[in-house]
Structure 1
Amino acid sequence: MTEKNTEKITILEVDLKKNEEALELLEELSNSLEALTGNSGKASFSLEDMQEPRSVFVIAKDCDGKAVGCGAIRSITEEIAEVKRMYSRVKGKGVGAEILSFLEMRAKELGYTTLWLETRRINENAVHFYERNGYLTRENYGKYIGNIEAVCFEKRLDSSLR
């Protein structure tokens, strides 16, 4: 299991099918997205995707051991991974940035050169979060092509990532 510790949080890779905290976080995220966008996002994520060899699912725990966020990457191509199910229970504390940084590091370790992701335009907090973290808008890909509610992002991974 790969792990990263900071003073604030610990990021742990987990087996999604066997981790109750991860499943709870995913359900919270789905409910939050449903309320904000009218779509839970469940149809765009599969538990089976996380069983693939180059897929990663992580949870973040605070200094008290409480699960406070999650995120994942899954393979699109040999070089491109997709960021999925990013969620933080606490806003403005850097949890999302820590999760994203960890996923970027793991993607690079797994041989990916680029990360893609999709969010809804109406989810302005997410849009601004990805922009602040170096993601650039790109053409919509896959099932998001032609979906005017979706905005897709890309980040090239380089050697400066720790």
Structure 2
Amino acid sequence: MTEKISIKITKPNEEKVLSIIEELSANLYLRFGSDGKNSFTDWQYNNSHFVFVTAEIDNEIVGCGTIRPIEENTGEVKRMYSKYSGKKIGQTILIFLENHAKTIGFKKLVLETRVKNQEAIQFYQKQGYNIIPNYGKYKDRPEAVCFGKSLK
């Protein structure tokens, strides 16, 4: 029997989602020495181009992801996390974010992950993302690898 994954748009500061964000941050810190918490320092709660989602299975939050604007027609995928592997949680979140990005006017999505994070690199490539030159704060960071995908 396949478990149903539901995606909900919420806010990253809501109490019920803090545990998944903390779990993601702890996971990143253990694996890469940085928790990624600065992803929300410029979060604009009343801007519809900033979208945070959670994935739930049987009322348990099992993943999260977000998009935020970085250029007029370009959104950035951040804070992608799946609590369990092999359940298509990440894929479900990413498809939702891509579809939502189109509805709010983004023509392209970009993202960054660490070169060491081979699981993420393979995941994004399977989802149609291509390696692009490092952008923004990742430009001169050899530990970073950036991806982009045109939304059609």
With normalisation by structure 2, the TM-score equals 0.94
In structure 1, stretches of 5+ residues that fail to align are: 1-5
Tell me the CA shift for residue 20 of structure 1.
Answer: 2.1
Aligned to 1:54: 49
User: Is the aligned partner of 1:77 residue 2:74?
Assistant: no
Assess if the C-alpha contact under 8 Å between 1:31 and 1:40 holds in 2.
yes
Which of 135, 147, 152 aligns to 1:153? It is: 147
Tell me, in whole angstroms, the C-alpha distance in 1 between the residues paired with 2:48 and 2:128. Answer: 27
Aligned to 2:18: 23
Tell me, in whole angstroms, the C-alpha distance in 2 between the residues paired with 1:47 and 1:102. Answer: 23
Tell me, in whole angstroms, the C-alpha distance in 2 between the residues paired with 1:154 and 1:132. Answer: 13
Q: For residues 39-60 of structure 1, give each alpha carbon's deviation from its aligned partner in whole angstroms, at most 9, with x where no partner exists.
A: 11122x0155141331100000
Instruction: Give the SS at the match of 1:108.
Output: helix
Aligned to 1:101: 95
Tell me the CA shift for residue 84 of structure 1.
Answer: 0.5
Structure-to-structure mapping, 1:5-16, within 5 angstroms: 8-16=4-12
Tell me, in whole angstroms, the C-alpha distance in 1 between the residues paired with 2:96 and 2:143. Answer: 28
How many residues align structurally? 150
Tell me, in whole angstroms, the C-alpha distance in 2 between the residues paired with 1:33 and 1:116. Answer: 19
Tell me, in whole angstroms, the C-alpha distance in 1 between the residues paired with 2:48 and 2:90. Answer: 24
Assess if the C-alpha contact under 8 Å between 1:50 and 1:56 holds in 2.
no
Relative distance call for 1:9 and 1:50 in structure 2 (3 A) is: farther
Please report the RMSD computed on the Cα atoms of aligned residues, expressed in angstroms. Answer: 1.4
Percentage of identical aligned residues? 46
Instruction: Give the SS at the match of 1:30.
Output: helix
Q: State the one-letter code of the partner of 1:11.
A: I
With normalisation by structure 1, the TM-score equals 0.88
After superposing on structure 2, the runs of 4+ consecutive aligned residues of structure 1 that deviate more than 2 Å are none
Which of 37, 41, 58 aligns to 1:42? It is: 37
Tell me, in whole angstroms, the C-alpha distance in 1 between the residues paired with 2:44 and 2:63. Answer: 17
Which of 119, 130, 135 aligns to 1:125? It is: 119
Tell me the CA shift for residue 29 of structure 1.
Answer: 0.6
Tell me, in whole angstroms, the C-alpha distance in 1 between the residues paired with 2:44 and 2:84. Answer: 24
In structure 2, stretches of 5+ residues that fail to align are: none
